């Protein structure tokens, strides 16, 4: 694992936690989410999305099993909407959905601290780890992202500092994921405006193309079969500070994409791959600031085709 220049733990106050219990919970989720719930066991967490019937992104989350329940680590500001949607779909199924965000905190551990915490399991995506009084798992998306923890809110700060060696400010985690080029739901993957394949769900292990039917599967499968994407979320590096989210990326008269979340000179952007052949790298800019498109190590070169 390539270690981050920073090492420690960050509390992620923007995250929410839902708890699902009941005899039908797994079958219920299997018909809704993009990943195979059977991959999620007491030993392994998974990353998944919930889509509209038209295949557009609504929510992404991590699912981990702990203490006889399934726990969803999700975006906090949309957790009430996610809970309502799950409740709407469950009908008469034996599934109870509870918002436990007030009781638990989500923590990210990365850099050398994650390697020390996970040991030989650090490259074993989704692997759950023994942590007293909480839940821990290797991030199922990219090994270098580190370890995620669910800890009792009343002692989360103290426990996180104890497990990771030091507690960092929350923006350190954003800096870390942006350095890796990993998009985040709600910041880069937009509800009702994004598709899984454009958002790198394949490379981030968030979609299973061989499982049974789920909501939005038809569009996702059709995009996969076509094999070539017109656009994709990618990291970009600016000459100077990145402009604000929503800024257009252009090359002369050619519209190439949109900037999303950023820190410093690094941002995540939605890039039109099908238009890159029309422009020279030196002409690409946003808000008058030149930029360079980057291919992260975790995206194979053939997946980008025209870059």
pLDDT value for 268: 98
pLDDT value for 305: 63
pLDDT value for 1: 38
SS3 (DSSP) at 29: helix
Is the pLDDT confidence value at 2 over 60?
Answer: no
- Edge-to-edge order in the sheet of strand 8-11: 128-129, 134-138, 147-152, 104-110, 8-11, 167-168
Q: What is the mean pLDDT of residues 201-217?
A: 94
Full set of structural domains in the chain with CATH:
10-180 (3.30.1360.120), 229-303 (2.40.30.110)
Is the pLDDT confidence value at 196 over 50?
Answer: yes
Q: What is the mean pLDDT of residues 122-128?
A: 97
What tens digit of pLDDT does each residue of 147-170 get? Answer: 999 999 999 999 999 999 999 998
Report the largest interatomic distance among the alpha carbons of the chain, rounded to a whole angstrom: 58
What tens digit of pLDDT does each residue of 19-67 get? Answer: 999 999 999 999 999 999 999 999 999 999 999 999 999 999 999 999 9
Is the pLDDT confidence value at 271 over 50?
Answer: yes
């Amino acid at each position: 694992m390539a270690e981050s220049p920073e090492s420690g733990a960050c509390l992620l106050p923007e995250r929410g936690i839902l708890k699902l219990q009941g005899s039908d919970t797994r079958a219920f989720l299997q018909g809704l989410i993009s990943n195979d719930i059977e991959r999620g066991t007491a030993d392994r967490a998974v990353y998944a999305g919930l889509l509209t019937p038209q295949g557009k992104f609504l929510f992404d989350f991590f699912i981990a099993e702990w203490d006889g329940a399934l726990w969803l680590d999700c975006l906090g500001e949309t957790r009430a909407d996610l809970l309502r949607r799950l409740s709407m779909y469950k009908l008469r199924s034996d599934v109870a959905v509870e918002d436990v965000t007030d009781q638990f905190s989500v923590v990210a551990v990365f850099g050398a601290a994650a390697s020390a915490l996970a040991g030989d399991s650090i490259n074993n995506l989704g692997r759950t780890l023994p942590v007293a009084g909480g839940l821990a798992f290797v991030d199922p998306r990219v090994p270098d992202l580190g370890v995620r923890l669910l800890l009792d809110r009343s002692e989360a700060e103290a426990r996180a500092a104890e497990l990771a060696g030091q507690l960092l400010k929350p923006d350190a985690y954003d800096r870390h994921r942006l350095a890796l080029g990993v998009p985040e739901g709600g910041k880069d993957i937009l509800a009702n405006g994004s598709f899984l394949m454009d958002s790198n769900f394949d490379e981030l292990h968030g979609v299973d193309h061989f499982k049974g039917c789920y909501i939005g599967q038809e569009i996702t499968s059709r995009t996969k079969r076509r094999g070539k994407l017109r656009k994709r979320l990618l990291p970009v590096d600016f000459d100077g500070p990145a402009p604000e989210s929503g800024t257009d990326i252009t090359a002369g008269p050619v519209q190439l994409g949109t900037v999303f979340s950023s820190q410093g000179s690094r941002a995540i952007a939605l890039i039109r791959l099908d238009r890159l052949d029309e422009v020279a790298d030196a002409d690409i800019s946003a808000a008058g600031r030149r930029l360079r498109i980057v291919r992260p190590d975790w995206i194979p070169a053939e997946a980008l085709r025209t870059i």
